Structure 1
Amino acid sequence: MALDAAKAGCAVLSRGRSRLAGLRTATKSPGDITTELDARSEAAIFARIRQAYPEHARLGEETGEGAGNAGASPYRWIVDPLDGTVNYVHGIPYYAVSVALEVDGAAVLGVVADPARREFFTAVRGGGAFCNGRPLKVAGRARMDEAVIGTVVPPPKWPGMEAYLAQFCAVARCAAGMRRGGAAALDLAYVAAGRLDGFFVVSLKRWDLSAGALLVQEAGGCVADIDGHPDPLHANRLAAANGALLPVLLERLRVPA
C-alpha cells in the first residue's frame, strides 16, 4: 500500500513535467519553494493511506499534522510529496517522493520513489532494504580519503549557515569527493545502495529523512544525530554511513563552530 501511495504521488509529478514553464510556485523562504504539484502529490498519497488506514495519524510537508488520529494514534504516516522541488522546477531529474510509517515515533517502513529513473527504494524494519526488488547493501569503505560524501546545503538565510560551512570544509578537506544532489531522501537511498559512502544534513525536517534513514539502517548502515543525541532524528541533524566510516564522519562534523 505504501508503495502504491508513493507511486500515486509520482504519477502527479510525472504528468506535471510537461508543463513546468507554467507551473505556479511560491517561496517559503529564500532557497525554499513549493509548487501546486507538491500539494497535489501529497493529496494523492494521503488519499491512498486514508482509504486503507483512516484511523492513523498523518504528517505531511504541505499540510502539517493531518486529520486522522493526530496526537492519539501510535501510527503516523510521514510524507514528503516532492523532495527536491528546486530540481524539479528547473528540470533537473533528481527528486523523489518519500513515505514513511512510524510507530511510537520510530520508523518501521520506508519508501523513497524516484519517478525520473523509475527506481523504488523500500524497507521494512527487520526485513532489509531493496530497490525494485533487488537487495541493497551500503558501501564498505572505511577511509574518508576514499569516500564520496553527500550533503544538503542549507537555504541562504539559514541561521546556522556559518557553522554548516565549517562542517562542510572539515569534511571536504579529507573526503575523496563531495556531492550535493538536492534531494535528501534520494541521497539517503543512495547511501543504502552504496552509491554514496556517507551523508550529512543539518537543516531539514522529519519528512525529508525518516524513510531514507530506515533504508540506510536496513541496508546494513548506521545513522546518528550529529550532536550525539540517542534519537538520530531528534533535531534532524543527521549523519549516515557504514559502521566503520560513520565515527570518522562524525568526528569531522563535530568541529568547533
Structure 2
Amino acid sequence: MSDQLNASVVGGKSFTAVAINCASKAGEWIKTKLGNYASLDIKYSSHDLVTEIDKGSERLIKNLVMTHFPHHSFLGEEGVEPGPKASAKALEDKLDAEYLWIVDPIDGTTNFVHGFPFFCVSIALAHKGDVIVGVVYDPVKDELFVAEKGKGAYVHGKRMSVSSEETLRGSLVATGLPADHHYALPVNLKGIAAVAPQVRNLRIAGSAALHMAYVAAGRLSGFWEIGLSSWDLAAGALLIQESGGIVTDTNGKPYDLSVRNVMASNGRIQDELIAALAAANANE
C-alpha cells in the first residue's frame, strides 16, 4: 500500500468517513432550505449566484472538518473573492499544504435558487496536491458518490464504471455555461456549436461536479467546460479516474488541481472530443 493510501487515516479518523459525514449533513440541511432562501446576491455575473444557504453550508462543512483535523487547510468557494483570477490565486496560496480540503458547498446554486433539482455538495481532500478522497452528494436524489484513491469509486455502495461508448456519435455528453461572460462563455459556446452535431445529444444541467459524477457512473460519456475552479472539479476528477475514465485539460494535459479548462470522459472518446474542440478553436 502506498504512503498516500496509508495517509487516508490519521489518528484513527478516516478522511473518507469525515468527508461523507460533512457532505451528508450539509446536503440534508440544504434540502430543507429548498425554495426558502432569504437573500440572493450576484457575484461575478448573472450566472454566478450565492445565497446565505451556500455560506451556511460551507460554515457547517468547515466546522466539522476542523473539529476532526484542526491542522488541515481548507479552500471553500464562498471564502474566495469572485472571478477566475481570485480563485486561481486562492488555490495557489494553499497548494503547499500537506492536507487541503477543497469544497463547493452548493455546486449548482442557480438550480437551487430556481428549484431545479440538479445541485450537489462537493468535497475533496488533497494530500500534497494529489486528490485522495472525493465525495459528491446529491441531496434531492439522496445519491452519494464516493472515491478513495486506489480503492475505486462507488454510488449506492456499488462500484461505478464509466460508459462503454466508443465514439462521439453514440455518446451523451455534457458541458456548462460559464459564469465568466468575457472569456470562458464565448469559448464554450463555440465548443457547443462544434460538438453538438457530432454527439448523440448534449446536456447542460448546471452542476459541473454532478456532471462529472455522472461520467463516473456511466450515465454520461464525457464532460468539458472552460473556466472552472478547483472546487468544481477536484472530487469529480477522482470519481472519474477511480471509475476507469480519464480527466485532462482541454488540450490533453493530465489533470491537476490548477486545471481550469477540463475534459473528462470514459477514455474511449477523449481524443475525439479534444480534437472536436481544437478544430473549433474552443479548447482554451
**Matched residue type, 2:25:** A
**C-alpha distance in structure 2 between counterparts of 1:154 and 1:72, whole Å:** 28
Runs of 4+, deviation exceeding 6 Å: none
* Mapped partners of 1:31, 1:115: distance in 2: 22
Q: Which amino acid aligns with 1:219?
A: S
Q: Structure 2: how far apart are the matches of 1:157 and 1:77?
A: 28
How far the C-alpha of 1:31 sits from its partner, in A, is 1.3
The aligned counterpart of 2:23 is 6
CA offsets 1:55-90 (integer angstroms, 9 cap, x no match) = 000000001399xx9566310000000000000000
Alignment of 1:16-165 (within 5 A): 16-17=33-34, 19-20=36-37, 23-28=38-43, 29-64=45-80, 73-155=97-179, 157-165=181-189
TM superposition shift of 1:156? 6.6
User: How much has 1:233 moved relative to structure 2?
Assistant: 4.2
Deviation at 1:237, TM superposition (A): 0.6
Over the matched positions of the two proteins, sequence identity in percent amounts to 37
After superposition, the Cα gap between the structure-2 partners of 1:147 and 1:40, relative to the gap in structure 1 and judged at 3 Å, is: same
Counterpart Cα distance in 2 of 1:134 and 1:10:
21
**Other structure's SS at 2:22 match:** helix
1:84-112: per-residue Cα shift (whole Å, max 9, x none)?
A: 00000000110000000001111110000
* Contact 1:61–1:79 under 8 Å retained in 2: yes
Q: Which residue of 1 aligns with 2:219?
A: 195
Contact kept? 1:110, 1:212, Cα under 8 Å? yes
Aligned equivalents of 2:96, 2:221: Cα separation in 1? 38
Distance in 2 of aligned mates of 1:116 and 1:158: 33
The alpha carbon displacement at 1:256 in A equals: 4.2
Give the root-mean-square deviation of aligned CA atoms.
1.8
CA contact (8 A) 1:58 1:78 kept: yes
Q: Distance in 1 between matches of 2:233 and 2:61?
A: 17
Q: Is the 8 A contact 1:12 1:40 kept in 2?
A: no
Summarize the alignment of residues 162-173 of structure 1 with structure 2, pairs less than 5 Å apart.
162-173=186-197
Counterpart residue identity of residue 253, structure 1: L
Query: Structure 1-normalised TM-score?
Result: 0.93
**CA deviation profile, 1:134-159 (whole Å, cap 9, x unmatched):** 11000010111100000011237232
SS of alignment partner, residue 17 of structure 1: coil
Task: Find 1:206's aligned residue among 214, 230, 239.
Answer: 230
Separation (CA, whole Å) in 2 of partners of 1:56 and 1:105: 13
**Counterpart AA for 1:63:** G
In 1: Cα distance, 2:278 partner to 2:137 partner: 32
Q: 1:30, 1:157 within 8 Å by CA — same for their partners in 2?
A: no
CA shift, 1:228, in A, is 3.5
SS of equivalent residue, structure 2 residue 102: strand
Which secondary structure does the structure 2 equivalent of 1:9 belong to? helix
Q: 1:42 to 1:236 in 2, by over 3 A?
A: same
Pairing partner for 1:15 from 25, 29, 32: 32
SS in 2 for 1:109: strand
Post-superposition offset of 1:14: 1.4
Aligned residues: 253
Query: How far 1:38 moved relative to its partner?
Result: 0.3
Q: TM-score normalised to the size of structure 2?
A: 0.85
- Gapped regions of structure 1 (runs ≥ 5): none
What letter corresponds to residue 171 of structure 1 in structure 2? V
